[in-house]
Chain A
Amino acid sequence: MESENKTAPVLELKDLRKSFGENHVLDGFNLKLFKGENLVVMGKSGSGKSVMIKCLVGLIEADSGSIRIKDHDITKLGQKELDILRTEIGFLFQGSALYDSMTVRENLEFPLRRHKKKLELKGNTESLVLEALNNVGLANSIDLMPAELSGGMQRRVALARALILKPKIILYDEPTTGLDPITSKEIIQLMRTIQDTYSTSSLIITHDVDCARVISNRMILLVDGVNYAEGTYQELIASQDPKVQAFFKN
Chain B
Amino acid sequence: MGRDKTIIDNTKDFFAEVGDMSYFTLRFFREVFKPPFEFKELMRQCFNMGNRSLLLVVVTGFILGLVFTLQSRPTLTEFGAESWMPSMVGISIVREIGPVIIALICAGRIGSGIGAELGSMRVTEQIDAMEVSGTNPFKYLVVTRIAATTLMLPLLIVIGDTVALLGSALIENLKGEVSYLLYFNQVFDAISYADIIPATIKSFFFGFAIGLVGCYKGYYCSKGTVGVGEASNSAVVYTSMLLFVIDFIAVFITDIFF
Do A and B share a complex?
yes
Q: Is the CB of A110 within 8 A of B130?
A: yes
Query: 0/1 per residue, A92-117, Cβ < 8 Å to B?
Result: 01110111110000000011011100
A182 to B129, CA, bound (A): 26
For A114, give its contact among B117, B125, B128, B135 (CB under 8 Å). B135
CB-contact partner of B126 in A57, A94, A100, under 8 A:
A100
Task: Please give, as numbers and ranges, the residues of chain B lying within 8 Å of A83 by CB-CB distance.
Answer: 134-136
Residue on A nearest B40 in the bound complex, by CB: A113
Q: Which size class do A's interface residues fall under?
A: 20 to 34
Check A86–B132 contact: CB distance below 8 A. yes
Q: Which residues does chain B contribute within 8 Å of A101, judged by CB atoms?
A: 117
List of A residues within 8 angstroms of B135 by Cβ: 83, 110-111, 113-114
Q: A57 contacts B132, CB within 8 Å?
A: yes
Q: Are B134 and A86 in contact (CB under 8 A)?
A: yes
With the chains together, A135 CA to B131 CA distance in Å? 24
Determine whether B124 belongs to the interface, using a CB cutoff of 8 Å to chain A.
Answer: yes
- In the bound assembly, the distance between CA atoms of A198 and B117 in angstroms comes to 35
Nearest residue (CB) in B for A87 is B134
Min CB–CB distance B124 → chain A (angstroms): 6
Contact A91 B132, beta carbon cutoff 8 Å: yes
A245 to B1, CA, bound (A): 34
Contact of A98 among B117, B126, B131 (CB under 8 A): B126
Does A165 lie at the interface of the complex (its beta carbon under 8 Å from any beta carbon of B)?
A: yes
Chain A, Cβ-Cβ closest to B123? A95
Interface status of A1 (Cβ within 8 A of chain B): no
Say whether B71 faces chain A, with CB atoms less than 8 Å apart: no
A38 to B221 Cα, complex, angstroms: 34
Per-position binary interface string of chain B over residues 132-167, scored 1 when its CB falls under 8 Å from any chain A CB and 0 otherwise: 111110000000000000000000000000000000
CB distance from B27 to the nearest CB of A (A): 12
27 example contacts (A-B, Cβ-Cβ < 8 A) are as follows A54-B128, A58-B131, A59-B128, A59-B132, A83-B134, A83-B136, A84-B134, A86-B132, A89-B132, A93-B125, A93-B129, A95-B125, A97-B126, A97-B128, A98-B126, A99-B129, A100-B126, A101-B117, A110-B133, A111-B133, A111-B134, A111-B135, A113-B135, A114-B134, A114-B135, A115-B134, A161-B129
